[in-house]
Chain A
């Protein structure tokens, strides 16, 4: 939550990890479990007042394949809110394909670390508002986090806070910060690194990975100073609906959109 501006809402984003036509859920980015038909879940979250959808093609991300455009198109067909698409995006052509299949923004991680000029090229062509810098974080000691690539499996030696500043200099319009340590564990977001990045850069931050309860969501919004939260497990397993999450957030003094 931005303390300087309390009238700005916090965006609630439903995050879908996709394999083919299916919504899946992984733990620590490993051990994948099929949850159900991606299209039905996307529709359910859209109708339940999600502010945005994040769609991650897990197969493309894990195995270095191209994003499956047909699956994307089918999944977001009836969705009329912003859709951010990530997983295996490596070129300007990939971005074009995503935008022509229903995506509004793209999230880029591995390809940005391998060739940062992809970000500046993409920003020049599609605008900052279209390009989300995606960072997968792993804590390496009490005060330092490393950026991982290739679906959270590959180390880079790159410091997360430093990298986030570079991404902003390259022109990204938002940063999606996903904790590999916390993903799927349901014990809370990695609020500390979220806060460090959020207070270091000038663009909006989306926190992702680790929510298990409404308290976790409220904690990262208030203490992590984020602009948006990506929510997966608690929605997919029906612990909470988006409407219920928003009600509880509002009850705790956080501005949301109804």
Chain B
């Protein structure tokens, strides 16, 4: 049984994520709010909603950032979802330049820079192309965001999608650190299967 911890730092909507994981065979998800408890889990999920600076301040408030870094050093998998993915990077330009966890080299930029005429937040189901070792066919996944991750190393990209004819990073992986800009837990059967494959 894989023990999966979903970090609750008061900036996340964890109910549906937990519901999805607990529906999967051989996996159990627990909401975890304290940094000292993290090591008990095999995989840590970092969800997140709201603004980058607000989320980062909440994470730092209880020293959770140090616990997350310690967890990552143990080599166990961390999966960031939506804002949780963005927090994995060096810094974000949202509102004011704010340092992130620095687990993946790169930054977080405003999606409107790609196309200023488009409506934001980008609330959509978008066709997403994964690198072949993960998934050979493109799948539709649900996105709801105004900022995007820009990894420094192209080798860290594991999926891309389009925003009005411009490509951006949909998913990232650097060793044991994984990030999804989409919400797999809200992306119907394809999203659930994808999430499940990363929880092995």
Residue numbers of A with Cβ under 8 A of B are 2, 4-5, 7-9, 11, 46, 49, 51, 80-82, 99-102, 104, 124-130, 173-174, 202-204, 227-228, 257-258
Contact = CB atoms under 8 A, between A and B. Distances in A.
B111 interface: no
Contacts of A173: 121, 123, 144
Contacts of B189: 80
A258 B191 CA distance: 14
Contact of B145 (A8, A99, A129, A228): A129
B198 interface: no
Contacts of B19: 102
Main secondary structure of the interface of A (DSSP, over half): loop
Interface in B125-152: 125-126, 140, 142, 144-146
16 contacts: A4-B117, A9-B124, A9-B125, A11-B125, A49-B188, A81-B186, A81-B188, A100-B15, A102-B16, A104-B13, A124-B54, A126-B50, A128-B121, A174-B123, A203-B120, A204-B119
B1 interface: no
Contacts of A227: 119, 123-124
A4 B114 CA distance: 13
A7 B166 CA distance: 10
B119 A202 contact: yes
Contacts of A124: 50, 54
A5 B165 contact: yes
B162 interface: yes
Given A4-B115, A5-B115, A130 B13 contact: yes
Contact of A204 (B51, B123, B191): B123
Given A5-B165, A203-B121, A227-B119, 7 more contacts: A2-B118, A4-B117, A5-B117, A9-B126, A125-B50, A127-B51, A203-B119
Given A5-B165, A257-B125, A80 B119 contact: no
B41 to A, nearest CB: 22
B98 interface: no
A127 B82 CA distance: 12
Nearest to B120: A202
A174 B188 CA distance: 21
A102 B13 CA distance: 10
Contacts, number: 95
Nearest to B144: A129
Interface residues of B, number: 36
A2 B119 contact: yes
B115 A204 contact: no
A258 B190 CA distance: 12
Nearest to A201: B119
A194 B146 CA distance: 23
A80 B184 CA distance: 9
Interface in B169-188: 183, 185-188
Contacts of B126: 8-9
B103 interface: no
Interface string B1-44: 00000000000010110011000000000000000000000000
B164 interface: yes
Contacts of B120: 202-203
Contacts of B123: 11, 129, 173-174, 204, 227-228
Interface in B93-124: 115, 117-121, 123-124
Given A127-B51, A257-B125, A80 B118 contact: no
A129 B49 contact: yes
A4 B115 CA distance: 9
Given A126-B50, A129-B144, A82 B186 contact: yes
Given A102-B16, A126-B13, A202-B120, A7 B145 contact: no
Contacts of A228: 123
Contacts of B188: 46, 49, 80-81
B118 to A, nearest CB: 6
The 5 closest A-B pairs by CB, nearest first: A5-B164, A127-B50, A127-B49, A129-B144, A257-B125
B185 A4 contact: no
A99 B15 contact: yes
A7 B128 CA distance: 13
A258 B189 CA distance: 12
